[in-house]
Copies of this chain bind each other. A is one copy, B any other.
């Protein structure tokens, strides 16, 4: 594992994107989002994901010349068309608009159809929190998760994000609807480890902690069994209905061909109805109640969502971003 300065990672990725046809400023922003994702420790969706993202540009799934644009608006709600542009730039623009709407109306919502994979879901939660707003956003995905009681992967793992701003560290939850992603299953299998809890069904239809058995059955578990199955359905339905966009069942079940997905960006302004001082105190007190509770393992304090991110971010800011040499060689050759 190499360690590279943030700026070097960002400018290298931006250079590739400019050669692929992105305008300078857009390339810089798109590259920043990838670099920040690696900096924050979400290695599956940062620099390591970049070659696949380039693949979706090269095969036409992502149109680098296209940007998201407003199609319709009604008060605190706007509908945008992503025009199949780069998913992270589209999502950034949509959340930026939702933040503005939330400032103007107390609550704001942007629905974004016809867009592409936004890479790290949490990015847009951190974005809202940095702007002092509560952010809630989600995306649908290609079909990759069987519903409870079903064999076919007709649901998406539809990542869902909640973010609350806080001077002492934003609270940000980024959760997909599968208990374990295929990437996580693969990591466990390669390390020869069993999952810590049941992660899916084996070929015989029994719950199992064996990652390889789940990869073979294609039956990972929805988070909370029937509950996550229902939640994934609702997120897909609201995103598609409100954006007039595609639902999971209409998307190609191939990461390189998945295109034209649907997303929701919601904001609430905590300063609209109360003083920042008071709302910060309420959030701080909840964090303290977790920190002061008894841990299940001695010395391992209960954490709030996003707490670990800040620790990793600081470490990677100090030491440089960890980058796999093989991936980096691949990117340098692009």
A residues lining the B interface (CB < 8 Å): 72-77, 79, 104-109, 111, 134, 146-152, 154, 162, 164, 171, 173, 175, 179, 197-198, 205, 207, 223-225, 227-228, 230-231, 233-238, 240-242, 244, 247-250, 266, 268-270, 272-274, 278-279, 282-283, 285-286, 289-290, 293-297, 300, 302-305
Contacts and interface: CB of A to CB of B under 8 A. Distances in A.
A146 B289 CA distance: 12
Given A175-B227, A175-B230, A293-B147, A134 B242 contact: yes
B296 A164 contact: no
B244 A274 contact: yes
Given A272-B77, A273-B79, A289 B237 contact: no
A87 to B, nearest CB: 21
A187 to B, nearest CB: 16
- Count of this chain's copies in the oligomeric assembly: 2
B150 A296 contact: yes
Nearest to A240: B282
A76 B75 contact: yes
B282 A75 contact: no
Contacts of A293: 146-147, 150-152, 154
Given A105-B76, A107-B75, A268-B238, A147 B302 contact: yes
A289 B142 CA distance: 13
Contact of A249 (B72, B223, B236, B285): B285
7 contacts: A79-B274, A107-B266, A111-B273, A162-B234, A175-B231, A179-B227, A198-B198
Contact of A302 (B149, B247, B286, B289): B149
A108 B107 contact: yes
Nearest to A247: B286
Contact of A150 (B73, B240, B302): B302
Contacts of A274: 79, 241, 244
Contacts of A236: 286
Contact of A164 (B106, B149, B197, B241): B241
Contacts of A269: 74, 77
Given A171-B237, A242-B268, 9 more contacts: A75-B76, A109-B268, A147-B302, A154-B293, A223-B224, A233-B290, A233-B305, A242-B279, A249-B289
A128 to B, nearest CB: 12
Given A105-B105, A108-B107, A289-B249, A227 B233 contact: no
Task: Output the residue of A76, A104, A235 with the most chain B CB within 10 A.
Answer: A76
Contacts of A282: 237, 240-241, 244, 247
A273 B244 contact: yes
A328 to B, nearest CB: 31
Contact of A244 (B108, B147, B242, B278): B278
Contact of A228 (B104, B223, B241): B223
Contact of A154 (B225, B235, B290): B290
B305 A234 contact: yes
A225 B197 CA distance: 9
A75 B75 CA distance: 9
A268 B151 contact: no
